[in-house]
Structure 1
């Protein structure tokens, strides 16, 4: 990953942006491993799958367990995918890689959507919360 970005550029990223980059790097390695297996370049496929597995472990290590049940669920999912990547590497099974690829794509898409929503108009979010509070107070008064 440091090949794409300088070390100082990575240090300037937020944890959320680094997570998004890790998802992208994992997707790239999985896609390239599928291509390598298809071309019978098993040594390269092995390296790509090892990198994908390393990324999944890094994602799991970076979880904030104070976030609640979602962190626990992500931990289980990351471990499941890491196990599947090892199995796919052992058998050079493209179908298993595709399963993991689909999960990572879904996670990446959801993560990027959550980041966009977080960076949306913060004043609008505050107004929405205030309106919900006022509505609740109004309902209690009646």
Structure 2
């Protein structure tokens, strides 16, 4: 019952969020799944690590697909997301925690910068 309530709340959060909030949710979700993948590797659970890595890859596919190509910066974001995707695939194939740490660091930078941009937009709006 509690699980259903949590799922309903999370679903409502996603369906009512604006694009900026959704992007932040994707960044946070990717960080959560990278952490799960790292823990699973430490516990030698390659299946759980694989599943978590696939979730990170899916988030990166979503981030890439939602970029607006009419903005020059979107091209730079696309390059970085594609790099992160390639590294996540490599980490999954080789079961390499160090590569996951690299991707995690990039996601943290994206998330923190995004949060700052959201705060600035609120102040200006």
Same fold (TM over 0.5): yes
Deviating 4+ runs (over 4 angstroms): none
- Matched residue of 2:123: which SS? coil
- Mapped to 2, the partners of 1:21 and 1:53 lie a distance apart of 15
Residue of 115, 122, 126 corresponding to 2:118: 115
Q: How does 1:34-45 map to 2 (within 5 A)?
A: 34-45=38-49
Deviation at 1:121, TM superposition (A): 4.7
What residue in structure 1 maps to residue 84 of structure 2? 81
Tell me, in whole angstroms, the C-alpha distance in 2 between the residues paired with 1:86 and 1:10: 26
The separation in 2 between residues aligned to 1:9 and 1:87, in whole angstroms, is: 32
Q: Which has the larger radius of gyration?
A: 1
Number of residue pairs matched? 119
- Equivalent in the alignment of 2:3: none
Counterpart in the other structure of 1:26: 30
- CA deviation string 1:82-140 (max 9, x = no partner): 01111000010000000000001000000011001100154xxxxxxxxxxxxxxxxxx
**Gapped runs of 5+ residues in structure 2?**
1-5
Gaps of at least 5 residues in structure 1 are: 123-142
Report the TM-score, using the length of structure 1 for normalisation: 0.80
TM-score between the two structures when normalised by the length of structure 2: 0.90
